[in-house]
Amino acid sequence: MSAARAAGGTAGAPGAPGEPPVSPPRRSIVPEPAPAGADRRGARGGFAARALVLGLLGRIGNGAVIVREGSSRHLCGRPVPGEPIPEVEVRSPRAWTAIAREGAAGLGRAYFSGWWDCASLDDLTAVLRVVVRNLDTVDRVRRLAAPLRPVGAAARLRRSGQADGSARDAELGNVQAHYDLGNELFALFLDETMTYSAAIFESPSTTLRDAQVAKLERVCRLLDLSPADHVLEIGTGWGSFALHAAGRHGCRVTTTTVSPAQHELASRRVKEAGLDELVTVLDLDYRSLSGTYDKLVSIEMIEAIEWRQQEGFFRACSSLIAPGGAMALQAIVIDDALHDAAKQSEDYVKRYVFPGSSIPSVGSIVSEAARAGLRLTALEDIGQHYAETLRRWRHAFEAHDADIAALGFDETFRRLFAFYFCYCEAGFEERRIADVQCLLVKPDWRPKGLGHRS
């Protein structure tokens, strides 16, 4: 049984002596549960959706899942020799309609709504690996069920193509919608460095903290940082890169975030580390920055920028880098062949976890950076390390389920986040998405010696 399901509800916090416990405010980022009777209506409207979904799942050619609903049991797909077959339990007919109408996004909504379940989060990840591996078949359900699809998603996508001013406001709201859920929440599943991006593991026994420090050090070495450098970081997070670069390499770091929660904690951590003479934490949008810097760093921030604005992001970065300077970029990427379709679609993560996000491709990064005067000179794929990072976050999130509930996050929210971890882990394991570290340089940049330290 998953920790989210076992918790059952919101934990209470102690009240004053002699008074009953006081429950924290209910916190959720999803709609309220459906009204009574919705299951009966779903049963009437979901018959065709059930037949459509089961029919297409039966055509999965690489992997299989077992779907149980009441006394019925269906083997869907083609089992892979040596690969366990995970099981799914359908608990409400509304699951079929959600999947038929919304594809992978509906699959996730049906999960966090409790309309289907798995015995464990490991099993959920195994199911999602089969889904991701055969995503074209799964999404064919959504295309065939287009007449059933509500217009809301299309309207949201149309609204995303906004003018720069509106786009800036939208991005600000989108970032805060996720990162300002509360520093306490993120502290429960991140490591001590509070780093919310892919780590790099030397071995399976490497701790998450050591793997995050190794990642931060690799970024610093990619840029060949020294005490003579003044580095700009776009996307502070909770300050881990700034603290590492200034503390270990002695460089000055100016870092900026638009998240008030991150700004507050990062500023406090810098002061507590005694690095406030080297590190400056700003609360500005990258488009409001001025001046020039020797080096620039952005670690998994570009994904928060709507795709129409990403070329402008590189132009802004280029204008902030001094002649002969360089930029280290770590980014989640999708295959070039899938990029155009992904820009026009709204998957689970974009709808429920990172609103307004847009994953670039390596090709789009290279071309947009080149138009801004930045040339790619080094690139490394660390996607498999992200799968392990997500696994570690998922285990910590599950282990702290009661603590997360005590913060006021309801079961629906916790299931939403658990699905997010499993869905992304499956994506990286199946190489539907990847994570890259790359070096982008100004035209008059030259390497030192035989190249960069690794």
Burial class (CB in 10 A: 0-12, 13-18, 19+), 16: exposed
Q: Tell me the mean pLDDT in the region 358-366.
A: 97
> In Å, what is the CA distance from 54 to each residue of 39, 93, 129?
19, 13, 18
Lowest mean pLDDT among 32-46, 125-139, 336-350, 419-433: 32-46
Higher pLDDT, 58 or 297: 297
Q: Is the pLDDT reported for residue 134 higher than 60?
A: yes
Task: Look at residue 18 in the predicted model and tell me its pLDDT.
Answer: 38
Please say whether the beta carbons of 446 and 224 come within 8 A: no
Percentage with pLDDT > 90 across the chain: 71
Q: Tell me the mean pLDDT in the region 343-351.
A: 89
Q: Which segments of 46-114 does DSSP mark as H helices, in order?
A: 47-57, 94-112
Q: Report the distance separating Cα 235 and Cα 174, nearest Å.
A: 14
Task: Look at residue 299 in the predicted model and tell me its pLDDT.
Answer: 98
Q: Is the pLDDT reported for residue 148 higher than 50?
A: no
Domains and CATH numbers, the chain: 27-150 (no CATH), 160-441 (3.40.50.150)
- In tens, the pLDDT along 14-51 reads 333 333 333 344 455 554 444 444 445 555 557 889 99
Q: Tell me the mean pLDDT in the region 216-243.
A: 98
Task: Look at residue 165 in the predicted model and tell me its pLDDT.
Answer: 56
pLDDT band at 270 (very low <50, low <70, confident <90, very high): very high
Task: Look at residue 1 in the predicted model and tell me its pLDDT.
Answer: 37
Q: Which residues pair with 436 in a beta bridge?
A: 331, 381
pLDDT band at 162 (very low <50, low <70, confident <90, very high): very low
Task: Look at residue 345 in the predicted model and tell me its pLDDT.
Answer: 86
Q: Tell me the mean pLDDT in the region 110-114.
A: 97
> How many Å from the N-terminal Cα to the C-terminal Cα in the chain?
43
Residue type, 2: S
Lowest mean pLDDT among 72-86, 117-131, 436-450: 436-450
Task: Look at residue 448 in the predicted model and tell me its pLDDT.
Answer: 80
Q: Report the distance separating Cα 221 and Cα 328, nearest Å.
A: 10
| Mean pLDDT, all residues of the chain | 86
Task: Look at residue 180 in the predicted model and tell me its pLDDT.
Answer: 76
Percentage with pLDDT > 70 across the chain: 80
> HSE of 231 in the Cβ direction (CA atoms, 13 Å)?
34
Strand, helix or coil for residue 63: strand
Strand, helix or coil for residue 66: strand
Q: Record the pTM.
A: 0.85
pLDDT band at 12 (very low <50, low <70, confident <90, very high): very low
Q: Which of 2-11, 169-178, 341-350, 426-435 has the highest mean pLDDT?
A: 426-435
> In Å, what is the CA distance from 332 to each residue of 228, 360, 374, 424, 432?
30, 7, 19, 11, 11
Q: Tell me the mean pLDDT in the region 296-305.
A: 96
> HSE of 212 in the Cβ direction (CA atoms, 13 Å)?
21
Please say whether the beta carbons of 365 and 434 come within 8 A: no
Q: Is the pLDDT reported for residue 56 higher than 90?
A: no
Q: Is the pLDDT reported for residue 7 higher than 80?
A: no
Task: Look at residue 89 in the predicted model and tell me its pLDDT.
Answer: 98
Q: Report the distance separating Cα 142 and Cα 149, nearest Å.
A: 8
